[in-house]
Amino acid sequence: MDDWWRGAVLYQIYPRSFLDTNGDGIGDLPGIAEKLDYVADLGVDGVWISPFFPSPMKDFGYDVADFRGVDPMFGSLDDFDRLLDRAHGLGLKVIIDQVYSHTSDRHPWFQASRQGRDNPFADWYVWADPKVDGTPPNNWLAIFGGVAWEWEPRRRQYYLHNFLREQPDLNLHNPAVQEAILDTARFWLDRGVDGFRLDVANFFLHDPHLRDNPPYAHPNPIKPYWLQRQVFNRSRPETLDFVARLRAVLDAYPGTMTVAEIASDRPVETMVEYTDGPDRFHTAYSFVLLRQSFGAEHIRRSVEAMRGETSHTWPSWAFSNHDVERVVSRWAAEPSPAFARLMVAVLTSLRGTAFLYQGEELGLPQAAVPYERLRDPEGLTFWPEHKGRDGARTPLPWRADGAHAGFSDAEPWLPMDPAHRPLAVDRQDADPGSVLNFTRRFLRWRKGHPALIRGAIHFLDGAEPLLAFERQGPDGRILCAFNLGPEPLAAALPLSGVATPLADAGLPGRLHGNRLDLPGYGGVFAALDG
């Protein structure tokens, strides 16, 4: 089925922290291959593997020095091919990160481009002359702090970097750069990958006139970047022309897909813009459900806004990933297995493709990483107001009593939080009521209900913290009702039809007619007739 990704559940693997098999404290591709049976047993449909390409690791793989290789710390291309074959043998799809907005400053393209203005790569990056007073050409700021421009004395020009200065932005206005990127996509598609997660996909092109961004009155500007509206350095209309070219490449490989990461102050509208049509991305996700805002109304408003813009697009949703605080720490008053189970059920019941981040199936809270062990450049810059992303990237605990919780025989690149040991895979595997076993049962149960996979969604009115909606598909209608709060909840639902509870979904809660009786973090699924 070419559109396998619609309603799929994909498991995100952060390679550095999944499993180390060579004793260097860093996870690797053989470690992923070794645990693919575990991943398949979760009941997911595929995996998204974060960057494993050659890189100086200033931004831990998102600063790519070779688009077509594997960094030796992760293994080799042969290791990747074996992983891919193993995944496909288990019925798992494999999508990989692609970073087309920028490269590492160690990439051969940039090393050539920075030498002067008259070589074949001179226009492959975004270069600009200084103002007459020597200052940068405009007011653009970098996400990781400071101005978005770095001086290169050999060219006597500035180059653009929306992220770290070691991550110069590619000039995709140049047709030669576009061709090189499309050839990169074909390289991985020819190897057999099933698609791409496109990093910062609305940053691909910039305003060629380099106009200043307007100010924005942010209420809590921890980063100066937030004090601008990012009008001219991202989400440019020209980007969609390149998206159409990339989509045409994917269309030549039936059964492949793209999911775009969208960072925008208009997240839902931009998601729609980048996915609405046969020449756009297949699906996209934004940070709308990855930030601090939480509640039934917020989730409903986000999903309905996407559906309200157009009925043709297909969204993707995530509650956790490698860039944000883990959901049980971000959204729960107190992290608990009950809340973790609920979040798995809610995420995979929404209309869209769901992305489950490694450790979410264990209910891992955000790890405590002391300042002296931080590795993330964002955390190091904005500490202590913003502690960065390392707390979501610590190693996965496999064995509670093993050295480094079974992740590695050596000291891991980030510390193992002692609070994660009791939540290790081996402990939860032996506990029928664990978050891990709930995830396995629930995702298997979900596969038997097509309405939860591809069905339409219709929300029901209710007061916080009740989140209730219907999913309607060829097998009928299913009521999904969740108590997002820690206290018991009783409520009447405006049902259209007779509800028959589906008790085997695994969440605690009761439904009598249209009356709900839900414990804290409980939920009910019911078949609707009439």
Q: Is the dihedral of CA 408, 410, 413, 414 positive or negative?
A: positive
Q: Which one of 389, 413, 445 terminates a domain?
A: 445
Chunk the chain into consecutive blocks of 10 residues (it has 530) and report each block's average pLDDT, rounded to whole numbers.
Answer: 95 98 98 98 98 98 98 98 98 98 98 97 98 98 97 98 98 98 98 98 98 95 95 97 98 98 92 95 96 94 79 91 98 96 98 98 98 97 95 98 97 98 98 98 97 96 97 94 98 93 93 96 94
374 and 458 in one domain?
Answer: no
Same domain? For 389 and 509 the reply is no
Cα distances from 195 to residues 29, 58, 118, 175, in angstroms, run 18, 26, 36, 23
User: Residue 278 has what pLDDT?
Assistant: 95
Q: Are residues 367 and 493 in the same domain?
A: no
456 and 440 co-located in one domain: no
Q: Residue 309 is part of which domain span?
A: 9-104+172-445
The two beta strands, 466-473 and 456-459, are antiparallel
Return d(Cα 100, Cα 103) in angstroms, integer.
8
**Taking a C-beta distance cutoff of 8 angstroms, is the pair 52, 101 a contact?**
no
Residues 305 and 454 reside in one and the same domain:
no
| 465 and 376 belong to one structural domain | no
Listed in sequence order, the DSSP H helices in 144-238 are 175-191
Residue 428 resides in a domain: yes
Whether the Cβ atoms of residue 509 and residue 472 lie closer than 8 Å to each other: no
* Residue that terminates a domain, selected from 423, 445, 467: 445
Tokens of 454: 């591809």
Q: Do 428 and 454 fall into the same domain?
A: no
CATH number at residue 513: 2.60.40.1180
- pLDDT score, position 496: 87
Render the burial of 252-270: b for 16+ CB within 10 Å, e for the rest. ebeebbbbbbbbbeebbbb
Of 287, 283, 337, 335, which Cα lies nearest the Cα of 314?
Answer: 283
Same domain for 431 and 306: yes
Residue 348 sits at the vertex; the CA angle it makes with 296 and 396, to the nearest 5 degrees, is: 105
- Cβ pair 260, 275 in contact under 8 A: yes
Strands 46-49 and 9-13: parallel
Instruction: Report if residue 186 sits inside a domain.
Output: yes
* Residue-level pLDDT at 458: 96
Residue 178: predicted pLDDT: 98
Confidence at residue 475, expressed as pLDDT on a 0 to 100 scale: 84
Q: How many whole angstroms from its chain centre is CA 210?
A: 29
| Backbone dihedral region for residue 75 (phi beyond 0: left; psi -120 to 50: alpha; all else: beta) | left
- Give me the active site residues, please: 199, 261
Which of 445, 461, 480 finishes a domain? 445
335: domain CATH number is 3.20.20.80
Same domain (yes/no): 272, 403: yes
* Count of domains forming the chain: 2
